[in-house]
Amino acid sequence: MATADLAPTPVRTADTPFSNEPFTDFTAAENKRAMEDALARVAGELGREYDLIIGGRRIQTTGKIVSVNPARPAQVIGIHQRAEADLAETAMQAALAAFPAWSRTPVAERAALLFRAADLIRERKFEFCAWLTFEVGKNWAEADADVGETIDFLEFYGREALRLDHAKPPIQFPGERNQLRYIPLGVGAVIPPWNFPFAIMAGMTCASIVCGNTVILKPSVDAPTIAARFMSLLEEVGLPDGVVNLCQGEGPGFGSAIVAHPKTRFIAFTGSKAVGLEIHESAAKTQPGQIFIKRTILEMGGKDSIIVDADADLDLAIEGVVASAFGFNGQKCSACSRAIVDQSIYDVFCDRLQARVAQIQTGDPAKNVYTGPVISPKSYNKILGYLEIAKSEGRILNGGSPIENPEGGYYIAPTVVADVSPTARLAQEEVFGPVLAVIKSNGFEDALSIANNTEYGLTGAVYSASREKLDRARQEFHVGNLYLNRKCTGAMVGAHPFGGFNMSGTDSKAGGPDYLLLFTQAKSIAEKIGHASPADEKQSELMGM
C-alpha cells in the first residue's frame, strides 16, 4: 500500500504530557477565512463515490448509500457501497488474516500510527470541519469541537497504550519473575453514531487497533463520508491492510451479521438504547464454534437533567441550560432535555429562558448559524411527533413547529415546553432534538428525586450556591458524568471520562485511563528463577500455586 511522504512525527512517550486540542477562535479573521476556504474546497469534492475497503481491496456493490446535506437534501455529499450480510464473512476473514501480524506489532509502532494520524488531522482541521458541516449539519464551533476531540482521542489513547505496555503486577513474588501483560482480544465490530461521526468513530476504532485488535468498521448510514475520509487518512499514515475494514451498511443487515458472527470478539457501539440492547442480547447468545464470551462496550443515550436550585446564579444557569439543550440542535446523548427548576424561581426562570431562546438563530450551518437542521427525515418526523405530544403535556414557550425553508432542510425551531410533569412522556423518553422540558420542583430533595426518575443515567448538572447541596448531588445524583455550576455537555478527553449508568450503557468511560482495558485481556506470567528448596516446593503446593 502506497503512503504519502510524511514529516517525522514528534516522539511521544507514556510520560509525554497530554493537553486537549485548543478550540478555534472563528472571530479571528484568519480562521474565518480558513474555514470559508475549506468549505469552498470541500464543496468541489461533494458527490463522489466511495468504495468499501476490506483487506485493502476496493469493493463495489449493487446497492448504494447516498449521503445528503440535511440543510439542503438535494445536495449529495457522497455515494457509498451498501454492504449486505453476505459480505460479513469476507470482512471477518480479512480482519482475522491481519490479526496475527498486527497483534504482534510493537505497541510503540501502533501508538506512533495514531500520533501520525493526529498530526495530519491537526494540519487539515478546517477541511475535516467542512466535511462535518456538510454531512451532519454542524456549525463551525461544533465541527471544530468534534475534530478537536478526534485529535484528543488519538493522542490520549496512544499514550495510554504505551502506559499499559509498561504495566507491572503489584508485587514480585520471591523466587519468581512476574509480568502483567495486556493483550488484544481479536476482531471487533465498531458501530459508531452519526452525531459525533468523527470523534466517536475514530475514538472507538483507534482504541481498538492501538491495543492490537483488528476491526470491522460499520459507520452510520447518515455519516458514511466522514468515515471514508478517515479511512483514507489511516491508509496514508501506513495502516496495514485488513487492520480496519470499512463496511458501510445497514444495521439490521450487515451490522447484525457481524455482531452475531462467532469470531467477533467485541462490539463497541454508540447509539440508541433499543439498538444497543439488541446488540447486547445478540452478543450474549453463544454461537456454534464460539470459544469466548463476547464483550460489549455500549453507550446508549440519556434523558439528561439540569437542576436549577433556588439560590443559583440565574444568568449562569440559563446560559448553561440553553447551550446544553440546543447546541447542535439537542442531538447529543449528553444534551439537557429536562430543566428541573425550584418553584420559588420557576416563573422568573421561565420568562428569562423564553427570552433567551427567542434570540437563537436557526439556519444553514455552513453560514455558521447557531442551530441548523436535524439529521434526517426519520429524525425530523420523530421530533415532530413529540411536538404534538408536547401540546397536551405542557405549555409551549418557544418553537413547537418546523421551520419552512426553500432548500427543504430538516429544520425545527428550538422548543421549550414548561409545566411538564416529571412522569410525562416528554420527561421520560429520549427525543434527541431541540426540545427542552421544564419541570417545577418543590425543594432540592424533590429535584434530586425527579432527576433520578428515568431509566437513564448519562449526564446531569446542578446550579447552586450551596456547598451542602452540591456535595449531596455528588453522592445522590446518579449519572456517569455530573457537572456542578456548568453545562452538562462538552466532556473533555482526559478531564471528563465519558459514559453512563443504567440504560445509558456500560459506563465505558471513553477518554479515561481505564478505557483501553475494555479492548484488552490481562495475562499474568510467572517464571521461576533460581532453584527452590523442597520446602518451598511443598509450600507452593499447599498454597495452590
Q: Determine whether 350 is an active site residue.
A: no
Alpha helices in 104-191 (DSSP H): 107-123, 125-136, 140-165
* 474 in Cβ contact with 489 (< 8 Å): no
Out of 129, 211, 333, 488, the active site residue is 333
Task: Give the three cell numbers for residue 339.
Answer: 430543566
Task: Give the three cell numbers for residue 259.
Answer: 455482531
Find all residues with CB under 8 Å of 303, minimum gap 6, and list them: 337, 338, 427, 428, 429, 430, 454, 455, 456
* 147 in Cβ contact with 198 (< 8 Å): yes
Residue count of the chain: 545
Please give the helix or strand (H or E) that residue 224 lies within, else none: helix 224-236
Q: Determine whether 455 is an active site residue.
A: no
Helix (H/G/I), strand (E/B), else coil: 436: strand
- Of 239, 241, 227, 214, nearest to 56 by C-alpha is 241
Out of 135, 235, 299, 430, the active site residue is 299
Sequence-distant contacts of 287-295: CB under 8 A, at least 24 apart: 287/260, 287/261, 287/262, 288/262, 289/262, 289/263, 290/262, 290/263, 292/186, 292/265, 294/264, 294/265, 294/266, 294/267, 295/185, 295/265, 295/266, 295/267, 295/518
Please give the helix or strand (H or E) that residue 304 lies within, else none: strand 304-308
Please give the helix or strand (H or E) that residue 404 lies within, else none: none
* 204 in Cβ contact with 499 (< 8 Å): no
Distances from the Cα of 433 to the Cα of 134, 195, 385, 389, 414, angstroms? 19, 11, 11, 14, 9
Q: Pairing mode, if any, of strands 456-457 and 501-502? A: antiparallel
Catalytic positions, written as ranges: 299, 333
